[in-house]
């Protein structure tokens, strides 16, 4: 039986691919998409989620809008220079016939968790504001999360938005600290495993040729490719969120080590840094940190699944 899945997201180019990957994977049943501030403002992330689902013919999946801002301090900046000002690399997807779910994201998520007879996996691939609010407002529902897979942070590398911090954690460090300290069954998929996992132009061409869905997905990625060439001199793209969703779909894809994690919530240059313990931890609040990845295999998984959407 497919595992019930929720994606909490801020689309975002790689977020869009992560949603499409989940829809292409029979191992999971995408029951809900919740949106959050992050790469672009909330109204845009919500509209983008609706349009990506419609692209794949899945407008039946409800989309509930969540937090507009961080818990305490405003997010310093968005990521339009990476994702385009509208979030999908300048690609205009067709509007969805579906309306936004009238429930706030945390209410929709809490109701799903409380009524699902099976444990629900939550893939949080944006800032963790919604998950932190769920913990505060609906703690009994949060306790029913079967598995929380977070795209964010870095244990042994520096950041990608500052020298210390990864973007999703930096966007709301107080929320991240609350989530990592809550004792939920959490996997942290950070830059340690995402940065070595690069989707190249050959793979993009494969799903682009598969049909209209793959073609639009490839078009969305063009902004990412252009940014990678300019910023890093590379010809491929790191699809951070899709790797986290791969781990949600196929638990054990990534090699993990259980460690304590603390998030720097100061207002200095280390803000948003995830500090991992040097030793393995048996503490109830410890987090499974992804430290090993077969990059070639996970990229092939992504490419083949995206190509299958047009089958």
Q: Express each pLDDT in 250-309 by its tens digit.
A: 999 999 999 999 999 999 999 999 999 999 999 999 999 999 999 999 999 999 999 999
Phi, psi of 188 (to 5 degrees): -100, 115
Using a cut of 0.95, tell me whether the model's pTM lies above it. yes
Is-contact 19 52, C-beta < 8 A? yes
Percent of the chain with pLDDT over 70: 98
Average pLDDT over residues 159-188: 97
Q: Between 42-55 and 13-23, two packed helices, what is the crossing angle to 10 degrees? A: 40
Average pLDDT over residues 172-197: 97
> Would you kindly state where each structural domain of the chain is located, as residue ranges?
3-308
Is-contact 179 131, C-beta < 8 A? yes
Question: What confidence tens digit (pLDDT) does each residue in 7-55 have?
Answer: 999 998 999 999 999 999 999 999 999 999 999 999 999 999 999 999 9
Catalytic residue among 37, 83, 227, 240: 240
Comparison of pLDDT for 204 and 223, the residue scoring more: 204
CA atoms of 191 and 170, how far apart (whole Å) = 13
Q: Is 227 a catalytic residue?
A: no
**Mean of per-residue pLDDT scores for the chain:** 95
Q: What sections of 88-239 are H helices per DSSP?
A: 105-115, 129-137, 139-142, 167-171, 173-180, 191-194, 201-208, 212-232
pLDDT of residue 80: 66
Question: What confidence tens digit (pLDDT) does each residue in 52-95 have?
Answer: 999 999 999 999 999 999 999 998 777 667 767 776 988 999 99
Question: What confidence tens digit (pLDDT) does each residue in 127-160 have?
Answer: 999 999 999 999 999 999 999 999 999 999 999 9
Is-contact 91 55, C-beta < 8 A? no
SS3 content of the chain, % helix, strand, coil (to 5): 40, 20, 40
Topology of the domain covering 3-308:
Inosine-uridine Nucleoside N-ribohydrolase; Chain A (3.90.245)
Question: What confidence tens digit (pLDDT) does each residue in 216-267 have?
Answer: 999 999 888 887 777 667 788 999 999 999 999 999 999 999 999 999 999 9
The 10 Å CB-count burial string (b at 16+, else e) for 115-141 is eeeeebbbbbbbbbbbbbbbbeebeeb
């Amino acid at each position: 039986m497919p595992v019930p899945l929720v994606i909490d997201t801020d689309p975002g180019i790689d977020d869009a691919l992560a949603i499409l990957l989940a829809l292409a994977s029979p191992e999971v049943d995408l029951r809900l998409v919740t949106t959050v501030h992050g790469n672009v403002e909330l109204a845009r992330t919500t509209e983008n989620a609706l349009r990506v689902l419609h692209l794949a013919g899945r407008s039946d999946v409800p989309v509930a809008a969540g937090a507009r801002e961080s818990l305490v301090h405003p997010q310093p900046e968005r990521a339009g220079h990476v994702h385009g000002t509208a979030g999908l690399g300048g690609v205009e997807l067709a509007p969805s016939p579906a309306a936004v779910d009238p429930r706030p994201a945390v209410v929709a998520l809490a109701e799903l968790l409380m009524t699902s007879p099976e444990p629900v996996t939550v893939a949080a691939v944006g800032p963790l504001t919604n998950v932190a609010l769920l913990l505060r407002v609906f703690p009994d529902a949060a306790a029913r999360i079967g598995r929380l897979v977070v795209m964010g942070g870095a244990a042994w590398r520096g950041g990608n938005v500052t020298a210390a911090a990864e973007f999703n954690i930096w966007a709301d460090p107080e929320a991240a600290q609350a989530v990592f300290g809550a004792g939920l069954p959490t996997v942290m998929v950070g830059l340690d495993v995402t940065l070595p996992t690069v989707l190249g132009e050959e793979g993009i061409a494969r799903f682009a040729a598969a049909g209209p869905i793959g073609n639009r997905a490839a078009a969305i990625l063009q902004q990412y490719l252009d940014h990678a060439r300019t910023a890093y001199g590379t010809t491929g793209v790191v699809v951070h969120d899709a790797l986290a969703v791969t781990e949600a779909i196929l638990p054990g894809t990534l090699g993990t080590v259980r460690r304590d994690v603390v998030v720097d919530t100061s207002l200095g240059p280390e803000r948003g840094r995830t500090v991992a313990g040097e030793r393995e931890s048996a503490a109830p609040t410890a987090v499974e940190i992804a430290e090993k990845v077969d990059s070639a295999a996970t990229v092939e998984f992504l490419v083949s699944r995206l190509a299958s959407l047009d089958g």
